[in-house]
């Protein structure tokens, strides 16, 4: 059984380590087996591609590479004055009896 991760597709995250430290972006996909996520505009790499149906010209294509989950932190939905503040994530039983994620900094539920 795979463990639950603190980050899901569609979350807005802050990079807390690595070359792209302090940059923000939306999570495009999560690989639960490798504990990695692809974040929009973060960890850009260049791929040299041959001409094909997708890229008829070929050449150098820039795309996002996966970042390890431990280097990402969810942004606080409330945020306050500083929108660049990350928060830790907790889980609790919501009003409807389901397990929901919440920001430990503000206590606000994450949707």
Q: What is the DSSP string of 70-96?
A: GGEEEEPSS-TT-TT-EE-EEEEE-TT
Does 1 reside within a domain?
A: no
Domain around 48: 12-110
Please tell me the pTM assigned to this model: 0.83
Does 7 reside within a domain?
A: no
Maximum average pLDDT range among 55-59, 69-73, 97-101:
69-73
- CATH code for position 88: 2.30.30.30
Q: Which of 6-20, 55-69, 76-90 has the lowest mean pLDDT?
A: 76-90
Does 38 reside within a domain?
A: yes
Does 88 reside within a domain?
A: yes
> Which pLDDT does position 52 carry in this prediction?
92
Q: Is 70 exceeded by the pLDDT of residue 67?
A: yes
Q: Is 80 exceeded by the pLDDT of residue 79?
A: no
Does 66 reside within a domain?
A: yes
Q: Which of 27-36, 73-82, 84-93, 99-108 has the lowest mean pLDDT?
A: 73-82
Does 29 reside within a domain?
A: yes
Q: Is 60 exceeded by the pLDDT of residue 81?
A: no
Does 6 reside within a domain?
A: no
Do 12 and 23 contact (CB within 8 A), yes or no?
no
Does 3 reside within a domain?
A: no
Number of domains in the chain: 1
Question: Rounded mean pLDDT of 52-60?
Answer: 90
Q: How far apart are CA 35 and CA 18, in angstroms?
A: 16
């Amino acid at each position: 059984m795979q463990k639950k991760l603190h980050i899901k597709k569609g979350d807005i995250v802050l990079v807390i380590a690595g070359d792209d430290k302090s940059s923000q972006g939306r999570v495009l996909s999560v690989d639960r087996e490798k504990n990695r996520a692809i974040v929009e505009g973060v960890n850009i790499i260049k791929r040299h591609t041959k001409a094909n149906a997708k890229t008829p010209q070929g050449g150098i294509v820039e795309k996002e590479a996966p970042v390890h989950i431990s280097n990402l932190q969810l942004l606080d939905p409330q945020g306050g004055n500083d929108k660049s503040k990350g928060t830790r994530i907790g889980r609790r039983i919501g009003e409807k009896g389901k397990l929901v994620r919440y920001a430990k900094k503000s206590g606000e539920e994450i949707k």
